[in-house]
Amino acid sequence: MATVHDELKALEERVQLLEDTEKVRECLMRNRFAADLGLSDVYAGTYAQDGVSDLGPGQRAVGREQLLYHINNPTGHKRIEGRSLHTVVNLFIRVNGRTAWAEGYDIVFVREGEGYIPYTCGYLHWEFEKQGERWYLTLRHRRPVGGDEWGGRVIKAYLKE
């Protein structure tokens, strides 16, 4: 029979899991908003020091210096900065101690005149690591909808559970 102490410990663990899940979500949303608003340092700061953004062949950035270059590239993201809206939908987040993963869809809209057009749609897999009390991205893996890697890295197996 479980003691009050055991039940309290189990409850504390569940609360910690919920808090960590929300902190992972906050890290992800901070990253997306920073990209839209041109806050390059905030964007790069959502990644661990050796964090990776892998958007496909020729679009891989490792470490904060390369991440800053990537987000500030005048022929890349800078062309849509201030007009972009990075959305994340159908998001799954799972925390396992001091690591976590998330998967979902990413649709970037860009303002054109008075309206908005879809700029790109992809499937994203993110990995996170808790350092102290804060969560950081260690990997962002994005592939286009319908491409060779369509369907995520872990979600197929997760959905079968």
| Residue 21: CATH number of its domain | 3.10.450.50
State yes or no: pLDDT of 152 exceeds 80.
Answer: no
* Domain span holding position 126: 4-160
Q: What is the pLDDT of residues 11-25, one digit of tens each?
A: 999 999 999 999 999
Mean pLDDT of 146-158: 67
Phi/psi-derived region of residue 160, left when phi > 0, alpha when psi is between -120 and 50, beta in every other case: alpha
State yes or no: pLDDT of 63 exceeds 80.
Answer: yes
Give percent of the chain above pLDDT 90.
Answer: 73
Q: Give me the number of domains the chain comprises.
A: 1
- Residue 53: per-residue pLDDT: 96
Mean pLDDT of 89-104: 94
How far, rounded to the nearest angstrom, does the alpha carbon of residue 109 sit from its chain's CA centroid?
A: 17
State yes or no: pLDDT of 30 exceeds 80.
Answer: yes
State yes or no: pLDDT of 128 exceeds 90.
Answer: yes
Residue 10 or residue 50, greater confidence: 50
Question: Of 41, 128, 31, 143, which Cα lies nearest the Cα of 87?
Answer: 31
d(CA 12, CA 14): 5
- Residue 151: per-residue pLDDT: 63
